[in-house]
Amino acid sequence: MRKRRSHGNPEADDTSFWVSFSDVATALMMVFILLVVLQIRDSGFLASLGKTQEQREASKKLAESLIERQGIINKLRLEFGDKAEIDTKTGTFTIDAGLVFAKDKWVLKPENKPYLAQVVRKYATVVLSPEYKDSIGQIDIEGHADPDGVPGLDPYLSNLELTQNRARAVAAFVVTDPNCMPKELRREFKKVLSVNGRSSEQLIYKDSAQTIPDKEKSRRVVLKFRLKDDQLNELVGALKQ
């Protein structure tokens, strides 16, 4: 469980603001580089970005990483088709919790295990293909809940238990059922697998003002990949210098 930052020190809060602002600026820089690369893909132009040689090289490598990420997302969309819930920016695949779990339960529905095996196998086959597997640092299986919780208990804690157990149930099925994926793919999948329950921290809303939670859509299990953190952190660090 994440620790919340104390608000007792005004100076600390001010520092926190500028750190967050720096992170936003870096993210905007990433988006700009990606747009440039996707439009012109000119290595000579990329080499001119940044103030120092190190920054220029970092800009180029970061752009290449972003292009690789987009390549994975495009292949996922091609594999699953238009009907699947795949985030076009992150490649996150969403599974409606109601399809695989009864309400407030974390035991998989036997009748929908074949569906679960199919979508996880497809996702892993693309993300851990020979073309991309060396760049993948982590594949997350995350459980998410609506804001209600169990009556009489703290909503956050009861939903945390629910989402953790649901994510674990999916992971246990994936790594033990022989029909889910081939042995070699399962071995690679387990190397990068991370299992998390997010309680109701990341709700989906019906309105743009984010005041009305969409409870049905908020109850979900997601699969998402992450590129190797050490590579990306090194590149972002060079750009901040």
| Helices 10-40 and 53-80, packing angle to 10 deg | 70
Domains of the chain: 10-240 (3.30.1330.60)
Burial track 97-135 (b if 16+ CB lie within 10 A, e otherwise) = beebbeeeebebeeeeeeebbebbbbbbbbbbeeebeeb
DSSP at 137: E
Low pLDDT (below 50) residues in the chain: 1-22, 24, 36, 38-43, 45-46, 230
What are residue 212's phi and psi, to 5 degrees?
-120, 100
pLDDT for the residue numbered 32: 55
SS3 call for 48: coil
Contact 224, 92 (CB under 8 A): yes
pTM here? 0.74
Q: Compute the distance between CA of residue 104 and CA of residue 16 in angstroms, rounded to an integer.
A: 37
Distance (Å) of CA 82 to CA 75, 123, 193 = 12, 15, 26
Name 230's Cβ contacts closer than 8 Å, sequence gap at least 6. 137
pLDDT for the residue numbered 185: 96
Name 37's Cβ contacts closer than 8 Å, sequence gap at least 6. 46, 63, 64, 66, 67
Q: Compute the distance between CA of residue 40 and CA of residue 116 in angstroms, rounded to an integer.
A: 40
